[in-house]
Structure 1
Amino acid sequence: MQEKFPIIETERLILREVTLKDAEDMLTYLSDPDVVKHMGLEPYQTVEDVQSEIQWYQSIVKEGSGVRWGITLRNSGKVIGSCGFLNRAPKHFRAEVGFELSKQYWGKGIASEALEAVVKFGFKHMELERIEALIEPGNTSSQMLVEKTGFVREGLLRHYEYTCGKFDDLLIYSILKGDLT
């Protein structure tokens, strides 16, 4: 990764590093059961919960295993979601992408705009060849989002994660650098 946190700008969005000052804004969506339902998380209860999430974002950048951008609208500095990479395997030129968005912004093309920009950044600046998305079978909106972005469904990973006291199946999707033509 680069020394300075990369900022990505799109037509409507600025994707930037989140800081502890963003915790209140992030609590708005991370405390919403509908937002975290397919993330393998219980809804966050406090600003301190969110601060530990922000510290995780900072730690994955430091260790080189990922990067997570806060999604902000150009006309307000407020963080309304996040999108980024985790489980990066530089040796294999791949990473997993994840995203979430405040419910009041669903259905407006914002997640799509952010995901597309992050995928392009990964291929162009992080030397990725493959980007994966792991999505719960019940999360049809995220499946449609990644498919619209060009991801291909590869299969089902049975009991792949243990979260919130249960084993979760996850669908695996991928997009390759050469898929973006």
Structure 2
Amino acid sequence: MLPQKVPTVESGRVRLRPWRLDDVGVVQSVADDPLIPLITSVPASGTLADAEAFVRRQQGRLDRGVGYAFAIALRETDEAVGHIGLWTQHLNEGRATTGYWMAPSHRGSGLLTEALGVLKDWAMAHEEIARLDLFVEPWNEGSWRAAETCGFVREGLLRSWQRVGDEPKDMFAYAITR
């Protein structure tokens, strides 16, 4: 049974844990990223108030029935370097979805792949989840390579699947099943 609180899950170099207000620095560090604010709820302003509001939204996701929002933290220092979620709106159908972002200073380090593997293993250990979905833009090779490394299978291309900014974008559909 899925927990009623966002847990802390660790492996190797990463720790997935609940968001804390002292994590605002990583939110501010991605506010000027050309894509993260377009496809997530990260504020483009970069202000402290808006970054704190982002963290508070993540802290309330489970209570609102949306799912589990985790800060991706370095296990050694507990510094937040990214975000990963397990979204459970379709749990009654045995499905969940994941999505993530990583601070630019930690991209290409393998931390995202490790965090995705930790989330996948934790999610699939719960009998309520028979399928875990992931959607990635075709150009985002780092993201889809991480998914494939973690055992996700590309099932196809969904044309104009998700609006990014003002434009519908194609997405690769990935999934892992029991």
TM-score normalized by structure 1?
A: 0.86
Is the 2:38–2:165 Cα contact (8 Å) retained in structure 1? no
What root-mean-square deviation, in Å, do the aligned CA atoms of Structure 1 and Structure 2 show? 2.2
Deviations 1:58-81 (A, max 9, x none): 232112321111111122121100
For these two proteins, the number of residue pairs brought into alignment is: 176
1:96 aligns with 2:109: no
Unaligned runs of at least 5 residues, structure 1: none
Is the 1:38–1:136 Cα contact (8 Å) retained in structure 2? no
SS at match of 2:78: coil
Matches within 5 A, 1:158-169: 158-169=159-170
Query: CA 1:27/1:126 → structure 2, altered by over 3 Å: closer, same or farther?
Result: farther
TM-score normalized by structure 2?
A: 0.87
Matches within 5 A, 1:10-159: 10-28=11-29, 30-33=30-33, 36=36, 39=39, 43-125=44-126, 127-159=128-160
Tell me the distance in 2 between the aligned counterparts of 1:42 and 1:141.
23
SS at match of 2:61: helix
Tell me the distance in 2 between the aligned counterparts of 1:93 and 1:53.
28
Tell me the distance in 2 between the aligned counterparts of 1:168 and 1:5.
31
Unaligned runs of at least 5 residues, structure 2: none
Structure 2 counterpart of 1:125, which letter? H
Tell me the distance in 1 between the aligned counterparts of 2:88 and 2:3.
17
Relative to its length, the structure with more helix (as a share) is 1
Is the 1:33–1:42 Cα contact (8 Å) retained in structure 2? no
Q: Give me the identity figure in percent.
A: 27
